[in-house]
Amino acid sequence: MTIAILNSIVGLRIKIPFISGLSCGFPSPADDHLDEGIDLNSAYIRNKDATFFGRVKGDSMEGAGLSDGDLLIIDKSLEPRNGKIAVCFIDGEFTVKRIRIEKDIIWLVAENRKYQPIKVTKDNEFLIWGVVTNVIKEV
């Protein structure tokens, strides 16, 4: 799975109408639950100077809920920890994988059985570029 890194547009503040408590059961009049609004930048971006968007390409992370075409919110300021999903730069290409750390070994693990884990060695050009914090899906 690779991603296309998009320019950061997180400085823009836009309040969008927001409905809280959407029921998946019986319908209720939405206007009764219309809140003041929500700014998605404030809600989902912790560090605007280190946050970028990237679009998923491929199916290697489908088991983690990341599908081809999804938009990822990536924070470069977060510490990459064991078990986190990260954007990694390995041997000249970006990829999105779950990080698995075992002693002194880093593995990049896909969430699709079609793909084998990637063992990062000293021979690889490798950088954990950022940690995925959220995904925006189209339905």
Q: Which of 23, 28, 42, 60 is catalytic?
A: 60
CA distances (Å), 19 to each of 22, 43, 93, in order?
A: 7, 14, 40
60 is catalytic: yes
CA distances (Å), 28 to each of 21, 34, 138, in order?
A: 10, 12, 24
Single out the residue of 50, 80, 125, 105 nearest to residue 96, CA to CA.
Answer: 80
Signed CA dihedral, 31, 35, 37, 40: sign only:
negative
State the amino acid at position 51 in one-letter form: T
Q: Which of 20, 42, 48, 97 is catalytic?
A: 97
48 is catalytic: no
Active site residues: 60, 97
